[in-house]
Chains A and B, each alone.
Chain A
Amino acid sequence: MTALLQHPGYDEEKLRRVAEQLPCREVQAGLLLSLMGEPQQYSYPSIFIYGHRASGKSHVLHVLLKELELHHATVSCVECVSVALLFEQVLLSFFGCDAASLLPRSPSLSDFVRIYRQQRSQSPAKQTRYLVMEKAELLRDSDANLLPALLRLQELVEDNVTVILLSEIVWDKFRPNTGCFEPLLLHFPDYSKGELQQILSQDRHPSYSAEFYSSYINILLGVFYSVCRDLRELRHLAALNFSKFCEPLEEGKVKETDTHKLWRNIEPHLKKAMQTVYLREVSSLQWEQMQLMEEKEAGALRGLSAHTHVELPFYSKFLLIAAYLASYNPARTDKRFFLKHHGKIRKTNFLKKNEKTSNHLLGPKPFPLDRLLAIFYSVVDSRVAPTASIFSQISSLVTLQLLTQVSHDDQLDAPKYKCAVSLDLICAISRTVNFDIVKYLYDFL
Chain B
Amino acid sequence: MSKRKVKDVHRPIGECITQVQQILRERFCHQQLPDRPEGLEAQYKHLLELLRRSAIQGESNSVLIVGPRGAGKTMLLQCVLRDLLQEKEAQKNLLQVHLNGLLQTDDRIALKEITRQLNLENVVGDKVFGSFAENLAFLLEALKKGDRSSSRPVLFVLDEFDLFAHHKNQTLLYNLFDVSQSAQTPVAVVGVTCRLDVLELLEKRVKSRFSHRQIHLLSSFGFSEYLQTVRTQLSLPDDFTDRGFAQDWNSSIQTLCEDKSVEEALQRHFNSSKDFRSLHMLLMLCLSRVSVSKPSIKPADLLDASRLCLCDAKANMLHGLSILELCLIIAMKHLNDVYEGEPFNLQMVHNEFKKFLQRKSNSMYNFEQPVVMKAFEHLQQLELIRPVDGSSAKTQREFQLMRLMLDHSQIMEALQKYPQCPTDVKQWAMSAFG
Contacts and interface: CB of A to CB of B under 8 A. Distances in A.
A145 B316 contact: no
Interface string A153-191: 011100010000000111111000011111011010110
A148 B102 contact: yes
A422 B31 contact: no
Given A189-B319, A420-B395, A362 B367 contact: no
Interface stretch (A31-39, A211-219, A428-436): A31-39
Interface of B: 14, 17-18, 21-22, 25-26, 28-31, 69-70, 74, 100, 102-105, 109, 113, 116, 126, 162-163, 194-195, 277-278, 281, 284-285, 288-289, 291-292, 308-309, 311, 313-314, 316-317, 319-324, 345, 347-348, 351, 364-365, 367-368, 370-371, 374-375, 381-383, 394-396, 398-399, 419-420
Interface in A45-59: 45, 50-52, 55
Contact of A229 (B26, B311, B314, B322): B322
A173 B69 contact: no
B113 A171 contact: no
A389 interface: no
A180 B163 CA distance: 13
A422 to B, nearest CB: 7
A266 B8 CA distance: 71
B322 A43 contact: no
Contact of A422 (B313, B368, B396): B396
A118 B126 contact: yes
A42 interface: yes
B288 A173 contact: no
Contacts of A308: none
Given A109-B103, A154-B30, A187-B311, 14 more contacts: A38-B18, A43-B25, A44-B281, A44-B284, A50-B317, A108-B103, A108-B105, A149-B103, A169-B383, A172-B313, A185-B308, A189-B316, A361-B347, A420-B396
A227 B371 contact: yes
A170 B285 CA distance: 20
Interface residues of A, number: 71
A42 B319 CA distance: 33
A275 interface: yes
A171 B313 contact: yes
Contacts of A362: 345, 347-348, 399
Contacts of B347: 360-363
Contacts of A8: 14, 17-18, 291-292
Nearest to A422: B396
24 contacts: A7-B291, A35-B284, A35-B285, A41-B25, A42-B26, A44-B28, A44-B284, A50-B313, A108-B103, A145-B103, A154-B29, A178-B162, A180-B69, A182-B277, A190-B319, A192-B419, A227-B324, A227-B367, A228-B322, A279-B370, A362-B399, A363-B395, A418-B395, A420-B396
Contact of B351 (A51, A173, A229, A361): A361
Chain A, interface SS category: loop
A65 interface: no
A274 B367 CA distance: 9
A184 B109 CA distance: 31
Nearest to B317: A170
A71 to B, nearest CB: 17
Given A145-B102, A229-B320, A168 B281 contact: no
A9 B15 CA distance: 11
B109 A108 contact: yes
A278 B113 contact: no
Interface in A208-239: 225-229
A35 B305 CA distance: 12
Contacts of B289: 34
Given A305-B370, A361-B348, A185 B313 contact: yes
A187 B396 contact: no
Nearest to A274: B371
**Which 10 pairs across A and B sit closest by C-beta, in order of nearness?**
A363-B399, A190-B320, A170-B313, A34-B288, A226-B323, A110-B103, A52-B320, A42-B29, A149-B102, A42-B25
B313 A187 contact: yes
B313 A226 contact: no
Contacts of A227: 322-324, 367, 371, 375
Contacts of B17: 8
B103 A187 contact: no
Nearest to A112: B103
A401 to B, nearest CB: 8
A6 interface: yes
Contacts of A42: 25-26, 29-30
Contacts of B374: 278-279
Contacts of B21: 37-38, 41
Contacts of A178: 162, 194-195
A192 B116 CA distance: 56
Nearest to B398: A363
B320 A51 contact: yes
Interface string A275-299: 1001101000000000000000000
A87 to B, nearest CB: 12
A225 B366 CA distance: 14
B66 to A, nearest CB: 13
A329 B30 CA distance: 66
Nearest to A357: B351
A404 interface: yes
A363 B388 CA distance: 15
B381 A168 contact: yes
A199 interface: no
Contacts of B18: 8-9, 38
B68 to A, nearest CB: 8
A422 B399 CA distance: 11
Interface string A5-37: 011110000000000000000000001001101
A246 interface: no
Given A113-B103, A226-B365, A364 B14 contact: no
Contacts of A422: 396
A74 B228 CA distance: 40
Contact of A34 (B126, B195, B291, B317): B291
Contacts of A35: 284-285, 288
Interface string A50-84: 11100100000000000000000000000000000
Contacts of A31: 288
A263 B376 CA distance: 30
B165 to A, nearest CB: 12
A110 B396 contact: no
A145 B21 CA distance: 32
Given A44-B281, A187-B316, A189-B319, A109 B102 contact: yes
